[in-house]
Amino acid sequence: MKILVCISNVPDTTSKINFTEGDTQFDTNGVQFVINPNDEFGLTRAMWFKEKQGATVHVVNVGGVQTEPTIRKALAIGADEAIRVNAEPKDGFFVAQQLAKVVKKGEYDLIIAGRESIDYNGGMVPGILATLLDMNFVNTCIGLEIDGDTATAVREIDGGKEKISTSLPLVIGGQKGLVEESDLRIPNMRGIMMARKKALNVIEPVDATQPTQDQKFVKPAAKGPVKLVDAGNVGELVELLHNEAKVI
């Protein structure tokens, strides 16, 4: 089985978000970048398939040269090879078209992406990719087993979960649940050393459409101070929620 894990290079979850150049760009100043958490759960599940079922695992990222430390981290965790499509990820449709080219060329059986990146939250790359390639697709995936060409997946739904049966080739929009938080791997020194020798192939982008464009960013309006209610007067909170906030 040949697996491609799509990784996004995103600001660490604790990052403060600021904008620059007249609020048209995300300000990367002082921001630590990491593998998108939803993708990291998928990458860890892919490592399980590598170790238990002999799968080959490649990772791909669409981004400039500045994303290479994040790609190297994925190699240090255990991916066999990496591909970087040398283009700014302009929008989800653009990125999916770049990935479609990579998948066709590499003849992958299983493509694991995150359900969304925690920066632009588009949540569309895996679904567009699957549809462009006419592959099966399961989103918000929290469990995945592969047996030959048969796949059994569990998908999170509003208010519960759904068991799904499908077949390879398959695209997954994954999230926490594919593996647990405690299963995530911190690269060790041996992994980091080995990652330096692994192939990181840079390829140029294909011409692609970009139907959406972020014109401007806005920070949430500053919030007024919290209104404190005395612990001995809980009834006042009920009154405020009813009369002032009008939510009960």
| Binds another protein (CB under 8 A): choice among 1, 87, 164, 194 | 164
Answer for the pair 99, 114: CB distance below 8 angstroms, yes or no: no
The stretch near another protein (CB under 8 A) out of 10-18, 53-61, 66-74, 191-199 is 10-18
Residues in contact with another protein, counted by CB under 8 A, come to a total of 84
Please calculate the CA angle 96-102-107 and round it to the nearest 5 degrees: 120
**3-state class (DSSP) for residue 115:** coil
Q: Taking contact as CB under 8 A, which single stretch among the options 63-71, 152-160, 186-194, 198-206 is the one that binds another protein?
A: 152-160
Choose between 39 and 46: whose C-beta lies nearer to another protein: 39
Report the C-alpha gap between 240 and 31 in whole angstroms: 39
Does 175 sit near another protein (CB under 8 A)?
yes
Whole-number Å distance between alpha carbons of 1 and 239:
61
Q: Do 176 and 116 form a contact (C-beta atoms < 8 A)?
A: no
Q: How far apart are CA 59 and CA 217, in angstroms?
A: 30
- Separation CA 184–CA 177 (nearest Å): 11
Q: x/- binding map, residues 64-103, to another protein, per CB under 8 A?
A: ---------------------------xxx--x-------
Binding mask 124-143 for another protein (x = CB under 8 A): xxxxx-xxx---xxxxx-x-
Stretch that binds another protein, among 7-15, 45-53, 58-66, 184-192 (CB under 8 A): 7-15
Give the footprint of another protein on residues 27-66 (CB under 8 A).
Answer: 37-38
Question: Helices (DSSP H) in 78-176: which residue ranges?
Answer: 92-106, 125-133
Burial class (CB in 10 A: 0-12, 13-18, 19+), 45: buried
19, 50, 56, 192: residue in contact with another protein (rule CB under 8 A): 19
The residue within the footprint of another protein, chosen from 176, 187, 194, 205 (CB under 8 A), is 176
In this chain, which of 4, 26, 58, 77 binds another protein, going by CB under 8 A? 26
